């Protein structure tokens, strides 16, 4: 279709075509009233649509204009006007951004360095946090909807299938809201989108930026891809560097395990500046309102000396002591803010504690003599047999300088060597107070371990990509009913300047049965 030179609404003279999508074509245009360049989206009816479908498409287009106009943010493309030319569909007049989409950039470059991807993710998260605060869920966050300006600006666009609180639902029967490769698992299962769904899609977009492919891969068969998305089985990133831990936690299969978009923005900002992102302690937002998912940040706990790990659950001091903090690194309180938020908002009842622990640890596999599968990085895999005593647990030596990968790996091995029925007090002391708060009381944690599994052992224990603060392993679990599964796990490690602790345990995809 050629409409070059056409004047829309008596003032917008169309120029070159700059984009197209499922709902229409975007033109660069000149606003002859205000003498500025704009983008005009010509919304098109699809061939073969009935009159009712065409009417629904018009209402959806008007809804896009209303929703997008509600959001005014420097990292979101603004909508200036919606006009009706009497030719069947409205035209949207939008901010013109000289740019390329992230999708086009990835086609050219293949992938981006982690810090560059994190900078993009930080700006998009900032816009989406504002959208969520306004009651808007984007529902189609993907590289094609992220614009990278020639001057370094980053903007999210195309709120065409967004849903805003208070707007009537306008969705064609059978219409899938979002692009399959970047959908959250709950959407693929048919659930309604929420802000947590946008968190997953943004993490998937950043994942694609550093890996070159989305977390569920690519497929010409959309149904097969949807099935894979619904399973939640992602491929752990190999090139993400400092982004590895936040991406794995933001890509959690359960939406209640993801933090809000404000925490995402802070984590991406930390990585963009070359720092370790704070490990998230996910909280379950109040389901009734969007506002409950946008709670304000809580200040981190006051700095104090490390407590005795055997008995205290006081807050940890900063991740790294001031005298050893590299030049240019922000205060540790900023790095830990995401974890502090999660703890402040977590409301974990004893019943929920049981579910969380079972999901993360599952069961235990009997492993006599440390033969739970060849572990990597030296040493033996973690094992659990008959009840052991504290004397079987190696003495915890102080870690007074930056930890090594071997020390982080050994920490995970030592912790799991006591589960589920060994020296559980010593194992509990290897968790940070933040993570202890997420698990609940020590007694409830011990009770759940005893009631849910016979044995658990680890194999293939190693640091992830050389990052000393990320450890991955396969957990081999024997449940109380004698069924056995293998569950890939990711562990976040925190250092307080004197000792290292496990700050989070995350399932990586679904468990697989073992004979």
225 or 12, higher pLDDT: 12
Percent of the chain's residues with pLDDT above 70: 69
What confidence tier does 489 reach under pLDDT thresholds 50, 70, 90? confident
Task: Say which residue, 469 or 476, is predicted with more confidence.
Answer: 476
Q: Which of 55-64, 115-124, 301-310, 444-453 has the lowest mean pLDDT?
A: 301-310
Average per-residue pLDDT for the chain: 75
197's enclosing H/E stretch is helix 195-211
pLDDT > 90 fraction of the chain, expressed in percent and rounded? 35
Q: Which of 69, 188, 77, 194 is nearest to 138 (CA)?
A: 194
DSSP labels for 384-432? --S---GGGSPP-----SPPPHHHHHHHHHHHHTTTTTS-HHHHHTTB-
Confidence check: pLDDT of 362 > 60: no
* Interval 306-332: pLDDT, tens: 333 333 333 333 333 333 344 344 444
Distances (CA, A) of 418 to 66, 313, 388, 414, 486: 57, 20, 7, 7, 18
> At 458, which helix (H) or strand (E)?
strand 453-464
Query: What is residue 309's predicted lDDT score, i.e. its pLDDT?
Result: 36
**pLDDT at 261 exceeding the cut of 90:** yes
Predicted pLDDT at 271: 95
pLDDT tens digit sequence for 26-83: 999 999 999 999 999 887 766 666 777 777 777 777 776 777 777 889 999 988 888 8
Q: How confident is the model at residue 134 (pLDDT cuts 50, 70, 90)?
A: confident
pLDDT of residue 262: 93
pLDDT reported for residue 457? 94
User: Quick one: pLDDT at residue 360?
Assistant: 42
pLDDT score for 463 = 87
Residue with tokens 């500025």: 36
Confidence band for 472, pLDDT divided at 50, 70 and 90: confident
Catalytic positions: 140
Domains and CATH numbers, the chain: 7-95 (3.30.200.20), 99-164+178-296 (1.10.510.10), 352-514 (3.10.450)
253: pLDDT confidence band, cut at 50, 70 and 90? confident
User: Which residues 6+ apart lie within 8 Å of 206 measured at CB?
Assistant: 117, 118, 120, 121, 243, 247, 268
Q: For helices 261-272 and 114-133, what crossing angle results, to 10°?
A: 160
Residues with Cβ within 8 Å of residue 131, at least 6 apart in sequence: 71, 73, 76, 137, 138, 159, 162, 198
- Give me the pLDDT at residue 88, please: 66
Q: How confident is the model at residue 102 (pLDDT cuts 50, 70, 90)?
A: very high
Residue 355 pLDDT grade (very low, low, confident, very high; cuts 50, 70, 90) = very low
- Per-residue pLDDT, averaged over 96-100, amounts to 92
pLDDT at residue 64, as a whole number: 64
93 pLDDT exceeds 60?
yes
Coil, strand or helix at 122 = helix
pLDDT given at position 228: 78
Which residues fall within 8 angstroms of residue 309, CB to CB, at 6 or more apart?
A: 396, 429, 430, 499, 501
Pairing mode of beta strands 453-464, 12-20:
unpaired
Backbone angles phi, psi at 254, to 5 degrees: -90, 125
Structure tokens at 323: 């005298």
| Higher-pLDDT residue of 495, 54 | 495
281 or 285: which leads in pLDDT = 281
- Residues annotated within the binding site for ATP are 41
Q: Average the pLDDT over 216-241 and give the result.
A: 81
Which has the minimum average pLDDT: 75-84, 327-336, 391-400? Answer: 327-336
pLDDT at 342: 40
Q: Please check the confidence at residue 389 and state whether its pLDDT lies above 80.
A: no
Lowest mean pLDDT of 34-43, 93-102, 433-442, name the range.
433-442
pLDDT of residue 180: 82
Each residue of 152-205: pLDDT tens digit? 999 998 875 545 444 444 344 334 445 688 989 998 888 888 999 999 999 999
Query: Does the pLDDT value for residue 99 go beyond 60?
Result: yes
Q: Residue 49: enclosing H or E segment and its boundaries?
A: none
State the average pLDDT over residues 278-289. 49
With 80 as the cut, is the pLDDT of residue 421 above it? yes
Task: Give a three-class secondary structure readout of 64-104.
Answer: HHHHHHHCCCCCECCEEEEEECCCCCEEEEEECCCEEEHHH
pTM for the structure as a whole: 0.59
């Amino acid at each position: 279709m050629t409409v070059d030179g056409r004047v829309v609404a008596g003032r917008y003279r169309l120029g070159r075509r700059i984009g197209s999508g499922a709902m229409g074509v975007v033109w660069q245009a000149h606003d002859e009233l205000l003498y500025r360049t704009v983008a005009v989206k010509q919304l098109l009816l699809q061939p073969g649509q009935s009159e009712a479908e065409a009417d629904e498409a018009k209402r959806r287009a008007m809804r896009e204009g209303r929703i997008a106009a509600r959001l005014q943010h420097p990292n979101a493309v603004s909508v200036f006007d919606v006009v009706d030319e009497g030719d069947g569909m409205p035209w949207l007049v939008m901010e013109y951004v000289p740019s390329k989409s992230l999708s086009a950039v990835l086609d050219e470059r293949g992938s981006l360095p982690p810090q560059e991807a994190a900078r993009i993710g930080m700006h998009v998260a900032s816009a989406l946090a504002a959208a969520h605060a306004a009651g808007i869920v984007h529902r189609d966050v993907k590289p094609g909807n992220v614009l990278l300006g020639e001057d370094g600006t980053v903007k999210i666009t195309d709120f065409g299938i967004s849903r805003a609180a208070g707007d009537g639902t306008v969705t064609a029967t059978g219409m899938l809201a979002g692009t399959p490769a970047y959908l959250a698992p709950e959407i693929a299962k048919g659930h309604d989108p929420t802000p947590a769904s946008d968190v997953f899609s943004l993490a998937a977009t950043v994942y694609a930026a550093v890996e070159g492919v989305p977390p569920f891969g690519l497929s010409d068969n959309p149904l097969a891809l949807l099935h894979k998305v619904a399973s939640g089985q992602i491929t752990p990133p190999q090139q993400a560097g400092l982004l590895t831990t936040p991406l794995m936690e933001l890509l959690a299969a359960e939406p209640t395990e993801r933090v809000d978009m404000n925490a995402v923005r802070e984590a991406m900002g930390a990585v963009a500046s070359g720092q370790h992102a704070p490990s998230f302690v996910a909280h379950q937002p109040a389901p009734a309102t969007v506002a409950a998912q946008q709670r304000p940040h809580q200040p981190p706990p006051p700095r104090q000396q490390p407590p005795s790990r055997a008995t205290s659950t006081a807050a940890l001091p900063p991740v790294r002591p001031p005298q050893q903090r590299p030049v240019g690194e922000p205060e540790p309180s900023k790095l830990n803010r995401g974890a502090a938020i999660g703890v402040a908002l977590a409301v974990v009842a004893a019943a929920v504690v049981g579910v969380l622990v079972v999901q993360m640890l599952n069961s235990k596999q009997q492993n006599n003599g440390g033969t739970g599968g060849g572990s990597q990085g030296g040493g033996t895999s973690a094992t659990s047999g008959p009840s052991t005593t504290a004397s079987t647990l190696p003495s915890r030596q102080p870690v007074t300088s930056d930890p090594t990968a071997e020390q982080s790996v050994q920490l995970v091995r030592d912790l799991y060597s006591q589960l589920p029925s060994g020296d559980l007090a010593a194992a509990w002391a290897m968790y940070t107070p933040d993570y202890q708060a997420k698990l609940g009381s020590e007694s409830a944690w011990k009770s759940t371990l005893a009631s849910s599994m016979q044995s658990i052992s680890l194999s293939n224990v190693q640091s992830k990509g050389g990052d000393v603060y990320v450890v991955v392993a396969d957990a081999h679990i024997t449940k109380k009913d004698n069924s056995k599964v293998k569950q890939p796990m990711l562990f976040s490690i925190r250092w307080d300047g004197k000792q290292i602790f496990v700050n989070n345990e995350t399932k990586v995809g679904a468990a697989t049965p073992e004979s």
